[in-house]
Amino acid sequence: MWDGDEAPDRCPKCGAPKEKFDKLSPEAANKIERSRFTNGLHISLFSLLDTVVEIAEVGIEDELDPACVRVFELARNEAAISRQRIKAEIEGHIAKGKWG
């Protein structure tokens, strides 16, 4: 199967010739496009959470006062939990063929 205007001359995975490909149905192509969009959002959010962790670590190290440290610790911990949720969600997408 392929999405797009024209199939490649050979499958990049197995090397099958172009003649072996079937065009994706509009529904399947839409599912792939939606999956790409949503997975891109997950990746963007994951990157932002990396930044949250980095900032929180600096705040913890700065150690202005216990209340500030607690805010930064909570931010770091929640970001770590959210990153794990994103990993699990993407893993589920891959298992269901919703990674395109």
Calculate the alpha carbon distances from 65 to 59, 61, 71, 75, 77 in Å: 10, 11, 10, 16, 18
**Does 20 reside within a domain?**
no
Q: In the structure, how many helices (H) and strands (E) does the chain have?
A: 2, 0
Contact call for residues 100 and 84 (beta carbons, < 8 A): no
Q: What is the pLDDT of residues 2-20, one digit of tens each?
A: 666 788 888 888 889 988 8
**Does 39 reside within a domain?**
yes
**Does 100 reside within a domain?**
no
**Does 49 reside within a domain?**
yes
Per-residue pLDDT, 38: 93
Per-residue pLDDT, 31: 85
Per-residue pLDDT, 2: 67
**Does 81 reside within a domain?**
yes
**Does 19 reside within a domain?**
no
**Does 6 reside within a domain?**
no
Q: What is the pLDDT of residues 32-85, one digit of tens each?
A: 888 889 999 999 999 999 999 999 999 999 999 999 999 999 999 999 999 999
**Residue 63's domain spans which residues?**
26-95
Per-residue pLDDT, 87: 95
**Does 10 reside within a domain?**
no
Total domains in the fold of the chain: 1
Q: What is the pLDDT of residues 72-96, one digit of tens each?
A: 999 999 999 999 999 999 999 888 8
